[in-house]
Amino acid sequence: MVAITTELRRQLSVKRSSDRAGLVFRSLLVFSLLIAFAILVAVLLTAVTRAWPILSERPLDFLTSKSSQDPSRAGVWQGIQGSVMLAAITAGVAFPIGIGAAIYLEEYAGDTRFARFTEVVVRNLAGVPSIVYGLLGLAIFVGNLGGLTGGRSVIAGGLTLACLVLPIVIITTQEALRAVPGELAQAGYGIGATQWEVIRSVVLPAAAPGILTGTVLSIARAAGEAAPILVVGALTGVFQTGTMSFLEQMQGFFTALPMQIFAFTKQPSEIWGAHAAGASVAILLVVIALNSVAIYVRARLDRNLRK
Amino acid sequence: MTSTKPEIDSMVGFEDARSVVTQAAGQEPAAAAPATDRAPVFEARDVSVYYSDFRAVTNVDLTINDNEITAFIGPSGCGKSTMLRTFNRMNDLIEGARMVGSLTYHGIDLYSDDVDPVAVRRRIGMVFQKPNPFPKSIYDNIAFGPRLAGTDENMDDIVERSLRGAGLWEEVKDRLKTSALGLSGGQQQRLCIARATAVNPDVLLMDEPCSALDPIATGRIEELMLEMKKDYTIVIVTHNMQQAARVSDRTAFFTAELDPNTDQRTGLLVEYDLTTTIFSQPADERTENYITGRFG
C-alpha cells in the first residue's frame, strides 16, 4: 500500500519535458515583447533628451512659432499645420473610397475572376514603396491636375498620401468585414432584410470598430511619411504664410513635420539638432493624438454594441 | 398549382400574414392534402437541392400543415437542414445552390420568378442553431424587422407583444435598452424567436434551435413551441429524437444514402407520418433502426 502511494506520488510529481519546452517558449515570447518595448522607450528617450535644450526652455513657443533662420526663434507651427491638413485631406479622400471599395469587394463582388484580380492588385499596391507614390503624385496631382491643386500644394500632398493609404484602408476594412460572424448576416436575411439592409444595419455597425482602428492607424502612418511629400514638393526652407486665405493656403506652399525634421538635420550647425529632435517629439504627439481619438471612438462604439 | 396575380402582389407588401393565409386556404384544392382537416402550408413535390454538382437532397415529397409542428430528424448529412432552408429560400444566399421540383406556399410557387425572396422571409421566419442576437439592445433586436418592413403599429407594443409571445417579457422588461449579448444562451434564443415573430410571420423554421442550450433552457423553448403552434406553423430540424417525440405532430425521417448514379451520398426522405406512428410503428426498417438507436 505504502509502495503504491509512493509510486503514485512519484508519477504525479514528475515534470513532463513538454512543460519545460513550454517554459522556454514562453520566455522567448516575453523576450520579444521586451525588445519591442525597449525600442519604443529608446525612441522616446532619444527624442526627448536630444530635444531637451528646446523643450526645457521654450516648449510652447517652439510648437507655436513659425520657421525662422534664427535658431532661438525657429518653431514648427507651419509643420504641425501642414501635417494636420495633410492628414485631414488624406482621411477625407481615402476613407470613403477605400471603405466603399472594400464593401463592394467583400459583399457584392463574389468569387469572380475580376474580384480575385483586384484583390491581388490591392495587396501588391500596399507593398509599393512610398516614394513611388510620390512620383505618381508629382506626375498627376502636381502636373496634370496642377490647375486644380495649385501645383506643389498641400492638396497635391494630401491626395498623394490618400493614394498611398488607400490599399491599406481597403485591406483593413475587408478584414474587419470578414471578422463579422456570418450568423449575424443570416439573422438579418432570416427576418427579411435585403442585402443592402443587412450590410447597412448589421454588418457595418458590427465591423465599425475594426474599420475605424485600421483606417486611423493608416492615417497616423501617412502623417509620418516624408518621401512622397518631399517629391511632391513640401518646402524644406524658411517661408512665410502671412495672411493668406484658406484656399490660398491649401493651394500654396506647404511643409509638414517630417519635412521639417529633414530640413533641420541638413543644417550644418550643431545647434539645429535639438530642433530636429523637437520636431520629432511634435510628430509623435500628433500621431499619439490621432491614435487616442481612434481608441476613444472604438471604445465608445464597442460599449454601444455590447452593453 | 396555378397562382393568381393578386396573391403574389400581396406577398411583396408587408401586412398581417394571416389575412393572406385565410384567403389562400379557401382556394386550396383538396386533392394533395393528407387525411387531415388542416390546410397545407407547404407542398413539396419531387424537390431536389443541389450545391453546384452535389445533390444534397433527392426527390422529396412532403406536405406541411397549418398550425402543426413538423419535425425533421435524421443523421448528419441527410439534408434535413437543406430541406428546411428551401422553405424560406435561404439557400438562395449560397452560391451554386439551386432547387429542382415544385415547392408551393399556400398554393403559390415559391420559386417563381416574380416571388421576391425578401418578402418570402418576412412571412417565413427562421431561428438558427446558434443564438444570433445582433450586438444591439434587446429592444432594437426586436424592432429590427418591423423597422425595415415599415409598420403603423406602435413599436413599444410590438416589442412587448413579441417578447411576451416568446415568454421573455417578465425577465427583460426592466432592461430593454441593455445589450442582448448580456442575456443567457436560452434567453438569447428566445429573443431570436421573438425577433422572428415581430414581423408577424406565418411560419417559423427552426434549425436545431436547442442544440446549443442546456436541458432547462431546452425545456422552456419546447413549451414555447407548443404554445406558439396556435398562431404559427412550425417546422423544426432536430438531432434530438426525444425532442421530436415531445413536441411534434408529424415527423419526417431523412437519411443519407449512396446515389448509384453519381456515387455520392445524398439526402432522402424515408418516411413521413404522424409522430406517434413514426415512433411506435414505423413502416420502414431504416426509420426503426434510427429511432431505436441502431445507427446515426
Neighbouring CB atoms inside 10 A of B268's CB total 19
pLDDT digits 0-9 by tens, A78-93: 778 888 888 888 999 9
What's B109's DSSP letter? E
Statement to judge: residues A32 and A79 lie in one domain: no
What average pLDDT does range B13-18 have in this prediction?
A: 39
Digit-coded pLDDT (tens) for B222-231: 998 998 899 9
Q: Which residue has the cell 454594441?
A: A305
Bridge partners for B103 per DSSP? B44
Domain assignment present for residue A65? The answer is: yes
Work out the end-to-end distance of chain B between its first and last CA atoms, rounded to an integer number of angstroms: 37
What pLDDT, on a 0 to 100 scale, did the predictor assign at position A65?
Answer: 74
> pLDDT value at position B249?
94
pLDDT at B133: 93
Interface test with A, best of B90, B95, B121 (most A CBs within 10 A): B121
Residues 6+ apart with CB under 8 A from B292: none
Q: Does A98 lie in the same domain as A185?
A: yes
The CATH number for A226's domain is 1.10.3720.10
Cell of B104: 408551393
Asked if residue A32 is part of any domain, the answer here is: yes
**Interatomic CA distance for residues A237 and A67, integer angstroms:** 8
> In this structure, are A138 and A46 located in the same domain?
no
Q: Do A34 and A169 have their domain in common?
A: no
Write out pLDDT tens, residues A228-270: 887 777 665 555 555 556 666 666 677 788 888 888 888 777 7
Both A33 and A154 in a single domain? no
Using the Cβ of B212 and the Cβ atoms of chain A, whether some distance falls under 8 Å is answered with no
Q: Are residues A19 and A164 in the same domain?
A: no
The verdict on A106 and A183 lying in the same domain is: yes
- Using DSSP's 3-state secondary structure scheme, residue B281 falls into coil
- Tell me the chain B residues in contact with residue A181 when contact means C-beta distances shorter than 8 Å: 132
Which tops the pLDDT comparison, B34 or A100? A100
Indicate whether A99 belongs to any domain.
yes
Rounded to 5°, angle at Cα B256 from B252 and B259? 125
Residue B18 has pLDDT above 50, yes or no: no
Compute the distance between CA of residue A161 and CA of residue A150 in angstroms, rounded to an integer. 16
pLDDT of residue B7 exceeding 50: no
**Is the Cβ–Cβ distance between A61 and A72 less than 8 Å?**
no
Location of C-alpha cell 398549382: B1
The residue of chain A nearest to residue B121, with distances taken between CA atoms, is A192
The counts of H helices and E strands in chain B are 12, 10
Confidence of residue B27 (pLDDT cuts 50, 70, 90): very low
Question: Are A99 and A32 within one domain?
Answer: no
With contacts defined as CB-CB under 8 Å, which chain B residues touch A111? 95
Distance CA A3, CA A180 (A): 58
Query: What is the average pLDDT value for chain B, to the nearest integer?
Result: 84
What gap in Å lies between CA B212 and CA B217, rounded to an integer? 10
Complex ipTM value: 0.81
Distance, in Å, from the CA atom of B168 to the CA atom of B198, rounded to the nearest integer, reads 13
**Do residues B85 and B128 lie in contact, with contact meaning Cβ atoms separated by under 8 Å?**
no
Residue A55 lies in a domain: no
CB B266 within 8 A of CB B55: yes
In a domain, A132, yes or no: yes
Residues A36 and A154 in one domain: no
Tell me the average pLDDT across B174-189: 91
Question: DSSP class of residue A148?
Answer: H
Contacts of A108 in chain B (CB under 8 A): none
Q: Is B134 on the interface with A (CB under 8 A)?
A: yes
Confirm whether A268 is domain-assigned. yes
Q: Which three cell numbers stand for residue A275?
A: 530642433
The rounded radius of gyration (Å) of the Cα atoms in chain A is 26
- Please count the residue pairs, one from chain A and one from chain B, whose beta carbons lie less than 8 angstroms apart: 74
**Are residues A108 and A210 located together in one domain of the fold?**
yes
Secondary structure of residue A153 in the 3-state scheme? coil
> Which residues in A lie closer than 8 A to residue B204 (C-beta atoms)?
none
Residue type, A33: L
Mind listing the pLDDT tens digit for each residue in B235-268?
A: 999 988 889 999 999 999 999 888 887 788 888 8
Q: State percent of chain B over pLDDT 90.
A: 51
Domain that includes residue A196, residue range: 60-306
Domain annotation for chain B: domains and CATH numbers:
5-291 (3.40.50.300)
* Residues contacting residue A248 through CB under 8 Å, at least 6 positions apart: none
Tens-digit pLDDT profile for chain A (307 aa)? 677 888 888 778 766 655 778 889 999 999 999 999 999 899 889 888 888 877 787 777 777 777 777 777 777 777 788 888 888 889 999 999 999 999 999 988 878 888 889 989 999 998 889 888 888 888 888 787 777 776 677 888 888 899 999 999 999 999 999 999 989 999 999 998 999 999 999 999 999 888 988 888 888 888 888 778 877 776 655 555 555 566 666 666 777 888 888 888 887 777 787 888 888 888 888 888 888 888 888 888 777 665 4
Residue A297 lies in a domain: yes
Query: The cell 394533395 sits on which residue?
Result: B32
* Residue appearing with cell numbers 412550425: B234
The 8-class DSSP code of residue A156 comes to H
Collect all residues of chain A within an 8 Å Cβ-Cβ radius of residue B195: 187, 191
pLDDT at B82 over 60: yes
User: Where does a domain end: A50, A69, A93?
Assistant: A50
CA dihedral B127, B129, B135, B138 (to 10 degrees): 50
Residues A99 and A236 in one domain: yes
> Same domain, yes or no, for A221 and A265?
yes
Q: Report which DSSP code applies to B53.
A: T
* pLDDT category of residue B43 using cuts at 50, 70 and 90: very high
**B234: β partners:** B69, B204
| Rounded distance between C-alpha atoms, residue B198 and residue A191, angstroms | 9
B122 touches chain A (CB under 8 A): yes
Residue in A186, A197, A307 closest to B132 by CB: A186
- The rounded distance, in Å, linking the Cα atoms of A23 and A31 is 12
Domain count, chain A: 2
Of B93, B182, B199, the CB nearest to A191: B199
Distance, CA of A61 to CA of A275 (rounded, Å): 12
Query: Chain B: residue nearest A195 by CA?
Result: B118
Residue A7 lies in a domain: no
Cβ distance of A205 and B135 shorter than 8 Å: yes
